[in-house]
Amino acid sequence: MHKIADIEIQHDIMVANKKLARRNQKIFDKANTFSIDVLGAIGSGKTSLIETLIQKMDYKIGVIAGDVISKFDAGRIERYNVPVVGLNTGKECHLDAHLVEHALPDLPLKDIDLLFIENVGNLICPVDFDLGSHIRMVVISVTEGDDTAEKHPLIFKDADLVIINKVDIADAVGADSDKMVADVKEINPDINVIKSSLKTGEGLDEIISAIDGFIKDR
Amino acid sequence: MHELSMANAMVKTVLDVAEKNNATEILEVTIEVGQLTMLNPEQLKFLLDVLVENTLLEGSKINIEEVPVEIDCKTCNYEGLPNMDGSDHYLAIVRCPECGGRNLEITAGRECNVKTIKIEQEDDADASGSE
Ligand SMILES: Nc1nc2c(ncn2[C@@H]2O[C@H](COP(=O)(O)OP(=O)(O)O)[C@@H](O)[C@H]2O)c(=O)[nH]1
Ligand SMILES: [Mg+2]
Ligand SMILES: [Zn+2]
């Protein structure tokens, strides 16, 4: 004999990811590690910014290189003698909390005050997947076009800090960086938006003090 | 987008629950997908149809329900749909349709939820085996 049964599952994959993310954050907190999810388009300057901050900031820094070809990014970071784990995301379009969880045992978290997690270069897919980081820093650049923000509101709505990079070449690519700042503010009025150039050093002090601020009032 | 990994996770969830409940057949699956997830229901459906081959889910009816976006305005307490009649519906999540306020929380539209399944099971099977 057979019978028919209706079963409530209510398993939300996004919620499941959030639970894992909270678990990651507990691990960070226990080790006293402040973590930053670094998001942005391909080539916007995520790795370059991390490299610069490693040199300029006084924290013990660690990095999870999660972009698609993480091997290359990890190699760049290794030159600064900081702990780095390259995540093999393969064809994934975003990191998720589970992938990050797998990287954690390979990092000496107790010796890391500040952990950067470089996400996959993509302004859409990573948005829905918390990693457990304390803040999200979105790095976009003028070369992606000055309509980037209005085209991708969600990533800016969920961000804690936004960097508009490569302003040194804004004129050359015909992009209005002030418009980009205004667009982000339209989406997220209270957020700190910093224009930067990793070539001239513009905006770096501001980025550093913004991150310092987040760490202080964690 | 990441329809493939989502579809994989959904199939796994359904098969796990079906097995725990001694299903002999899965008749129907209902999945909720939020309109803000950037998951394309058509593509999801296609991938699910491919992934279920040779599993208990092969031939099951798969319902994908789209969940509309809802916002909660912290300024005027408006709760409900954002103004979606503009041409660019993503920007609509940014402003409250009542007061124009921008301090909004998105309360629905981001789900990717395996909601229910309808299965056939042996009569003496223990249906409480899911927990
Ligand atoms: N002109 C200019 N180039 C930059 C700036 N920041 C990064 N770049 C260059 O942009 C390219 C991509 O940078 P990368 O850090 O690899 O981007 P990622 O893909 O976001 O990690 C590299 O060639 C960098 O040298 C900047 O502020 N100005
Ligand atoms: Mg990179
Ligand atoms: Zn309102």
Pocket of ligand 1 (CB under 6 A): A 40, 42-48, 121, 165-166, 168-169, 197-199
Residue B55, in any domain of the structure: yes
For A156, name the nearest residue in chain B, comparing CA atoms only: B94
Ligand 3 center to A5 CA (angstroms): 43
Which pLDDT belongs to residue B100?
Answer: 87
Probe target for ligand 1 pocket from A38, A42, A46, A48, with the most ligand atoms within 8 Å of CB: A48
Please state, in angstroms and rounded to a whole number, the distance separating the CA atoms of residues B34 and B66: 6
**A29 Cβ contact partners less than 8 Å away, ≥ 6 residues apart:** none
Q: What sign results for the dihedral spanned by CA atoms B13, B2, A95, A139?
A: negative
Is there a domain that residue B80 lies in? yes
Task: Please report, in tens digits, the pLDDT of each residue of chain A (218 residues total).
Answer: 679 999 999 999 999 999 999 999 999 999 999 999 999 999 999 999 999 999 999 999 999 998 776 678 888 999 999 999 998 777 788 999 999 999 999 999 999 999 999 999 999 999 999 999 999 999 999 999 999 998 899 999 999 999 999 999 999 999 999 999 999 998 998 999 999 999 999 999 999 999 999 999 88
Residue range of the domain that includes B78 = 2-120
- Looking at domain A12-217, its CATH class is alpha beta
CATH code where residue B43 lies: 3.30.2320.80
Residues of A in contact with B9 (CB under 8 A): 13
Interface confidence, given as ipTM, is: 0.83
The protein residue whose alpha carbon is closest to atom 18 in ligand 1 is: A43
Q: Per residue in A29-68, pLDDT tens? A: 999 999 999 999 999 999 999 999 999 999 999 999 987 7
Domain count, chain B: 1
Beta-sheet strands, E only, within chain B = 23-34, 61-67, 70-73, 79-80, 104-108, 112-122
Contact A10 B117 (CB under 8 A): no
Chain A contact present for B19, CB below 8 A: no
Q: Each residue of B52-94: pLDDT tens digit?
A: 999 999 999 999 999 999 999 999 999 998 876 655 556 678 8
CA distance A47 to A67: 9
pLDDT of residue B54: 93
